Structure 1
Amino acid sequence: MPHFTPTMPDVSVLMVAHDAEKTVRRAVESIQNQTLRNLELIVVDAGSSDSTLRQLETMSERDIRVEVVRAGACSRQEGLDLALERARGTYLAVMDPDAVMRPTMLSAMLALASDKSLDLVIGGFTLALSDRGTPLGERAVATEDVSYPTQHDFRADSWRLLSSGQLLPASAKLFSRAWVTSCGARFSADPQTDHAFVAGVLRDVERVGVLSGECCRVERALVPPRRIGGVPNSYLRLEREHNVLLGLYRHWGLDGDAASMGTLQNRYVEQLVACVEEVCGSRAGSSAAEQRRVVSAMLGTEHARLAVSVARPMGSHVRSMLVPIRSQNVALVCAQARLLSLLWHGRATDMVPDLFV
């Protein structure tokens, strides 16, 4: 492998690592072994306390395409913004230390982007989830090749990509750096996910293509749920992200489009049910009265009332919760959620995949 520092790399890969000593070497090696050689990797160490930084610096010494940035304690989103500021590539890709790129991922994406003069290439991925070391299953998220001839064609078809889980993650995508710069997208627009960054890129993007198949594999461990005032952090993220999506589709003039709005409402209900289970499940750790209070507040919002009235979710698990939710029978909702959380434990791969990517 030629080791050199390109003055104008075709692709800058952005990564943030924190205490990732078990997976980071494999992730970096999957980038180093890409069939595309003219690339750079900018990896920000976010204050690791294990051997992550030492591993990264050793790999950087052997391959000067790898730049390691010591950022100290910072969030993933802050670290990605820092890496973005240092990027020099014509295109950008985002990689996590628990993911592995297929060897041809970047070359295939770059070929499509160059051939069609695209601002954005969307690929597929495999999501493998685990909970405290126990595998929960895998899910392939991919669609067929397509290059949208117009901005309108992409917008009108974006609901399919949102439904599959491919639209919002920054992973398995190739972004034109010039376009990212011109639209001012920043990862720190949302403190928890890359989705607001991607929404900023999507807002006025014109030239988009989709590459068939899975470009990378993401092996994600579930993290313990957090709550703010008894409300799951996942629910606060849901409300924030739903507002972003509504604003995006309104900007596109698709707030009256049945397919687009149906997908948004289905997605909201699927995540809402997951949040209810988080509050009422076997590991909730709160009193029944507190569970009813939190669930009642979540079900009583304008977003929830509209979504459950029109949603047609595919999964039987979510559909089984619709009747008690629509009737606003909070006690029954909580009881049903407790039962389902026991019967369906380990069904995480049936949920919206971009919750985890």
Structure 2
Amino acid sequence: MVEGSPSYAMRALESIQNQDLYDLQIVVVCRDAAPGARHSLQVAADRDIHIDLIDVEDAKRGACLRAGFDASRGSQIIAMNADEWFAPQALSKMVDIACDTAADIVLPSVSLDRYDAHRERHSRVLDAASIAIEDESSMVTGLPQLILGGLVAQTSGVMYSRPLFEACLSRGKAYRTVEFMAYALSQARFVSGCGDACFHAVAPKLTDAFDPTMYARISDDTRALDELADSLSEADSGGRLKLASQKFYFAGLVACIENLCLSPHGVSSIERSARMRDMLDAPRTRQMVAALKDNHRGLGLLFGPIASAKPARCVMCTHLAAFLNRTGTKTA
């Protein structure tokens, strides 16, 4: 899917063209692309036989992904957006692992990039090293690493076997969601990380604008992780997956509260209080508090106010944590 600045689209495309692989098909799907971006991509496609450029007018979610998959012919599939890119040699390293281990999923390390007002890049790396899942026992050991490390929410840039990717699409799992990755993990025979391969993605911006659907997405994501944990309950005698799922929900809830309180174009104080109360009183939140009350060390300033279900304290601690983060003071 191509959108926005032509420079972003061309950077993404060139990061694939410059990989040291020959047997490669690049499917570029355009929908509502800016004229400059569309022209640049057409020129690139005319010069490179590996590029298939197609246009999609369907506005439905997932239409670009389905169109791209239908046009693809490869045994491994990677999907990405126009504002994402691969570091040099990343693809060949991922292909080597997929061939050596017969992995259905190969996860690269992910650099979540953001740019400050001076256009300096700041990155947070999600490390994919040491990930190897081949049975229920290793799933119980490796899945908490994926959940707590953030990679379970990273579907873009991941290499999937073609049958597995098609199975996820046929089940109607929405791409770029934890539900998609959770289903893929439940069906994969072998999952491997490739710590030496780096994929660059845009870091999420939580406070640019208030997002009224954010809490619903976090709830859906946590439900998908809970279902995966339930399917592995016999192998997970220590409850590690459930605990990781609870911590995932807590991190998502904190992000929702930050979005509600810190967005410059937010909501009124009355609506903010009502939404805060709904999140704090939700059964899922109370279950999380009960599960983490004896294991909340390192969770930060907001656990106490969330546990006591006090909206005003949540607002105060959110602004305090934001101030301490700006000044570089530790909050946990």
**Class of the TM-score when normalised by the shorter of the 2 chains:** 0.7 to 0.9
1:43 pairs with one of 1, 9, 28: 28
Correspondence for 1:310: 291
Correspondence for 1:337: 318
The answer to whether the aligner puts 1:225 opposite 2:205 as a matched pair is no
Q: Give the stretch that moved more between structures: 337-346 or 52-61.
A: 337-346
Q: How far, CA to CA, are the matches of 1:249 and 1:86 in structure 2?
A: 35
Over 3 Å counting, the alpha-carbon distance change for 1:121 and 1:145 in structure 2 is same
Q: Which amino acid aligns with 1:200?
A: Y
Q: How far, CA to CA, are the matches of 2:140 and 2:155 in structure 1?
A: 18
The answer to whether the aligner puts 1:206 opposite 2:185 as a matched pair is no
Q: Give the match's secondary structure for 1:94.
A: coil
Q: Which amino acid aligns with 2:111?
A: T
Give TM-score, length-normalised by structure 2.
0.87
Q: Which amino acid aligns with 1:97?
A: A
Q: Which amino acid aligns with 1:35?
A: D
Q: How far, CA to CA, are the matches of 1:146 and 1:220 in structure 2?
A: 22
Q: How far, CA to CA, are the matches of 1:247 and 1:135 in structure 2?
A: 41
Correspondence for 1:247: 227
| Unaligned segments of structure 1, at least 5 residues | 1-15, 351-357
Correspondence for 1:91: 76
Over 3 Å counting, the alpha-carbon distance change for 1:34 and 1:214 in structure 2 is closer
By how many angstroms is 1:124 displaced?
0.8
Give TM-score, length-normalised by structure 1.
0.81
Q: How far, CA to CA, are the matches of 2:49 and 2:178 in structure 1?
A: 31
Q: Give the match's secondary structure for 1:212.
A: strand
Residues 234-276 of structure 1 deviation map (CA, whole Å, 9 limit, x = unaligned): 2121011111111122123367642211111111111111211
Matches within 5 A, 1:70-81: 70-72=55-57, 74=59, 77-81=62-66
Q: Give the structure with the larger strand fraction.
A: 1
Over 3 Å counting, the alpha-carbon distance change for 1:268 and 1:278 in structure 2 is same
By how many angstroms is 1:27 displaced?
0.9
Q: Give the match's secondary structure for 2:195.
A: strand
Q: Give the match's secondary structure for 2:137.
A: helix
Residues 90-135 of structure 1 deviation map (CA, whole Å, 9 limit, x = unaligned): 1111222112212212211111111122212122111112477765
Correspondence for 2:137: 152
Q: How far, CA to CA, are the matches of 2:84 and 2:14 in structure 1?
A: 11
Matches within 5 A, 1:108-127: 108-127=93-112
Matches within 5 A, 1:232-311: 232-253=212-233, 257-281=238-262, 283-311=264-292
Over 3 Å counting, the alpha-carbon distance change for 1:144 and 1:292 in structure 2 is same
Q: Give the match's secondary structure for 1:320.
A: coil
Q: Which amino acid aligns with 1:115?
A: D
Q: Which amino acid aligns with 1:173?
A: V
Q: How far, CA to CA, are the matches of 1:33 and 1:284 in structure 2?
A: 41
The answer to whether the aligner puts 1:190 opposite 2:174 as a matched pair is yes
How many residues in Structure 1 have an aligned counterpart in Structure 2? 325
Q: Is the 8 A contact 2:144 2:240 kept in 1?
A: yes
Correspondence for 1:321: 302
Q: How far, CA to CA, are the matches of 2:34 and 2:271 in structure 1?
A: 37
Q: Which amino acid aligns with 2:309?
A: Q
Q: How far, CA to CA, are the matches of 1:300 and 1:221 in structure 2?
A: 26
Correspondence for 2:124: 139
Q: Which amino acid aligns with 1:190?
A: A
Q: How far, CA to CA, are the matches of 2:146 and 2:327 in structure 1?
A: 25
By how many angstroms is 1:168 displaced?
3.3
By how many angstroms is 1:187 displaced?
9.0
Q: Is the 8 A contact 1:80 1:187 kept in 2?
A: no
Residues 160-198 of structure 1 deviation map (CA, whole Å, 9 limit, x = unaligned): 1221112331234211102333x343596337x343322
The answer to whether the aligner puts 1:162 opposite 2:162 as a matched pair is no
User: Alignment RMSD, CA only?
Assistant: 2.7
Q: Give the match's secondary structure for 1:225.
A: coil
Q: How far, CA to CA, are the matches of 2:142 and 2:251 in structure 1?
A: 21
By how many angstroms is 1:343 displaced?
4.1
Q: Is the 8 A contact 1:199 1:244 kept in 2?
A: yes
Over 3 Å counting, the alpha-carbon distance change for 1:149 and 1:188 in structure 2 is closer
